[in-house]
Amino acid sequence: MRTAIALLATCLTTSAQVPTETDGLLRVEAEDFDRQELTEVREWRIFSTGAHAEGASGGAYIEVLPDTRTSHEDRLIRGENFTNEPGVMAVVAYDVLINSPGRYFVWVRAYSTGTEDNGVHVGIDGDWPESGRRMQWCEGKNAWTWASKQRTADQHCGVPGQIWLDIEQSGSHTVMFSMREDGFEMDAWVLSSDPGFSPEAPSAR
Ligand SMILES: [Ca+2]
Ligand SMILES: [Ca+2]
Ligand SMILES: [Ca+2]
């Protein structure tokens, strides 16, 4: 009995462990979110089977569904299958611990199969700064692809180095992602204080 209690205590401690930034780096599996909100129209669902899950780290990923706009021919309905406004639809939240305040560049590993499932917004603590809007993927169709690019009026495929969160105080924070295009799939994400960071380096996998 005592062993069982000790084991239970260990499990509880482990599952309650908050992802913690170390040496300017934090990596979190997308499927390990703490909660989601504003899910009336679209919601994030966890997948741990199928071809996309096989290539996902941790064997799982999340996708914002349903996906009613899969090609440019499908009608764009704002507030339903698309929203350029961050924080208003399908917000998924991750509680984290940040030791070193500062600017953190955000990278996401995404799987896109078309042109209408390749954008997402990122924010922090309920705040949605301009530097977290319109993360965009063009390259790497039908494959898990790390990127950190912001779609702009001039560059629809996104500009590197423009996606970041400024964290002014150490301690507990909540990193949030919200839908831009339905059907978007997310495997994992990274915060890095290094502007030259690339998640493709073996140490980050
Ligand atoms: Ca879509
Ligand atoms: Ca999809
Ligand atoms: Ca994953």
Output the CA 187–ligand 3 centroid distance in Å: 4
Residue 86 maps to a domain: yes
Output the CA 115–ligand 1 centroid distance in Å: 8
Residue 18 maps to a domain: no
Residue 7 maps to a domain: no
Cβ contacts of 104 within 8 Å, gap of 6 or more? 21, 24, 26, 98, 164, 165, 166, 167, 191, 192, 193
**Which ligand sits closest to the CA of 184?**
2
| 190 within 8 A of 199, measured Cβ to Cβ | yes
pTM listed for this prediction:
0.91
CB under 5 Å of ion ligand 3: residues: 29, 56-58, 187-188
Mean pLDDT score of the chain, rounded to an integer?
Answer: 93
pLDDT tens, 127-165? 999 999 999 999 999 999 999 999 999 999 999 999 999
Residue 113 maps to a domain: yes
Residue 4 maps to a domain: no
Residue 34 maps to a domain: yes
Q: Can you tell me which residue has the tokens 């839908």? A: 179
| Residue 90 lies in domain | 24-204
Output the CA 181–ligand 1 centroid distance in Å: 5
For position 96, which CATH number holds? 2.60.120.260
As a whole number of angstroms, the distance between CA 55 and CA 75 comes to 31
Output the CA 60–ligand 1 centroid distance in Å: 20
Identify the DSSP state of 76.
Answer: P
Residue 68 maps to a domain: yes
Which pLDDT does position 201 carry in this prediction? 58
Number of domain units in the chain: 1
